Amino acid sequence: MPEIITTETAQILAKTNVARLIDHTALRPEATGVQIEKLCREALHYHFYSVCINPYFVPLAKSFLSGSNVKICTVIGFPLGVTLSRVKAYETEEAIKEGAQEIDMVINVSALKDKDYKKVRKDIEVVVKSASGLICKVILENCLLTDEEKMVGCQLALQAGAHFVKTSTGFDKGGATTADIELMRGVVGEYLGIKAAGGIRDYQTAVKMVEAGATRIGASQGVQIVNGSPYANLPDDKK
């Protein structure tokens, strides 16, 4: 099983090298190849943990990032989550063939709200299985859920063998909140990572998410976050 860093380690990185917690993200439907190339160059320059992109751009990202420490993360069933499970499985397998190294899947929100927990768990399980041991994050889309549904979603992700739970797609009416992070951490303990995503645009907000229990940050403003950290102003020999 992939190693999941602890909240303590994440909190240290937030103060010393926040870039290593960031999935540098470009998921807008109007994104162009030129913009993805820029994203990859920024990821290499700032040493972000990964780039998070739509499956279509995975081969392009691979051409820039192959041999580097920057991983390629892609999204499955995005952004609504109501794709058929077998389609999510196929999408996952094909993305990995193209070069994806981490998977962020959107939970079936409708099934969760219908309390069809067996279907929700199975939906996650087939993606985890298709990911063949690669890190799989489950996007709950918390802005659409009650606190009880968020907790159940976390429990089902844990039962299904996922490695992370994630707050948001960033495409609906709300993003990450510290209250949600604390709630999720209370359910998953240190067994799963937590990715805070949606509305995180500066260093101070990123740190608050990590202090609340997040161990990964998804953000399109990764460069702004890093440049806002005290660490960014240190000479190279002090970093």
- What is the token pair recorded at 90? 């196929």
Active site residue: 71, 88, 195, 208, which one? Answer: 195
How far is C-alpha 161 from the geometric centre of its chain's CA atoms? 16
Annotated catalytic residue 166: yes
In angstroms, the CA 161 to CA 111 distance is: 19
Which residue, 2, 42, 1, is CA-closest to 22?
A: 42
Active site residue: 23, 104, 123, 180, which one? Answer: 104
Q: Which residues have a Cβ under 8 Å from the Cβ of 54 and sit 6 or more positions away?
A: 27, 29, 31, 74, 75, 78
Q: Are 77 and 171 in contact (CB under 8 A)?
A: no
Annotated catalytic residue 104: yes
Beta bridge partners of 52: 25, 73
In angstroms, the CA 79 to CA 75 distance is: 8
Annotated catalytic residue 195: yes
Active site residue: 137, 166, 180, 208, which one? Answer: 166
Q: Are 47 and 20 in contact (CB under 8 A)?
A: yes
Residues annotated as catalytic (active site), given as ranges: 104, 166, 195
